[in-house]
Amino acid sequence: MLTMFSVKGKVALVTGAAQGLGESMIRLLSEAGAHVIACDINEAGINRVAAQIHTDFPDASCEPIKANVTDNADVARLMDYIAHHYGQLDICINNAGVLERGPIEDMSLQAWTRVMDVNVTGVFLVSKYAAQLMIEHQRGGSIINMSSMSAQVVNVPMKQAAYNVSKAAVSMFTKSCAVEWAPYGIRVNALAPGYIRTAMTGPDFEAGGQFEPLLDWIPLKRLGEPADLGGATLWLASDASKYVTGSIVAIDGGYTLI
């Protein structure tokens, strides 16, 4: 049974890999034996992640590649490189994302567009070219998109309408892709995390932090950790979930249940 969860030898692409959840997924897949491409617009960040991976796991295969997920030509070049150097793409994780907070009436068009470009258009472009590669080279694969519990609920008191809308779009895009690409053996699912501790957001949830009261709304009474996404990620990336597609997997400590 455990062999069904194996990703050893598979080729995996993770976007938004320079920090946070993306870095955690890079570590997970590298440790599990996948050949990992760490993609981010932050070249210094992905170089740091790859170097740390090779230090922690000397036998790991982790290659950093700079790319802008909102640039059509850049994404096309990235996939051409993967096809030429690896010959396949088994796992694609669309993790790149940005967040803008503030009242809707004060939000600039530039801020709105930035969120939509990265969180929606970026997922579209990477998924599109990943599917083309998967169809041509192996007629199969797993695409995992990063949605959010914010696709389902409005995070009061946080004012982040653009982010919420973008993640709702990611959830519906995931379902649409799952139906269209099922005949090719490509499964498309999404993770929907709740509040996850990162270097940027963690302090806000500590004692006295501005968001500490929100912990009372989480049935498990704690923040999620980046590693808490690991099991679901490995499950969706592997053959253990080979009959699962179009699912939005909540990893929110039960927040959206109440």
* Distance of alpha carbon 182 from the chain centroid: 20
- What is the C-alpha to C-alpha distance for residues 51 and 106, in angstroms, rounded to an integer? 41
Residues contacting 45, CB < 8 A, separation 6+: 17, 18, 19
| 3 state SS of 12 | strand
Residues 114/100, Cβ–Cβ less than 8 Å: yes
255 is catalytic: no
**Which residue in 86, 129, 163, 195 is the catalytic one?**
163
Taking the CA atoms of 112, 117, 118 and 120 in sequence, report the sign of the dihedral they define: positive
- What is the C-alpha to C-alpha distance for residues 43 and 14, in angstroms, rounded to an integer? 14
- What is the C-alpha to C-alpha distance for residues 6 and 138, in angstroms, rounded to an integer? 18
* Residues, the chain: 258
Residue 95 host element (H or E): none
Report, as residue numbers or ranges, the catalytic residues: 163
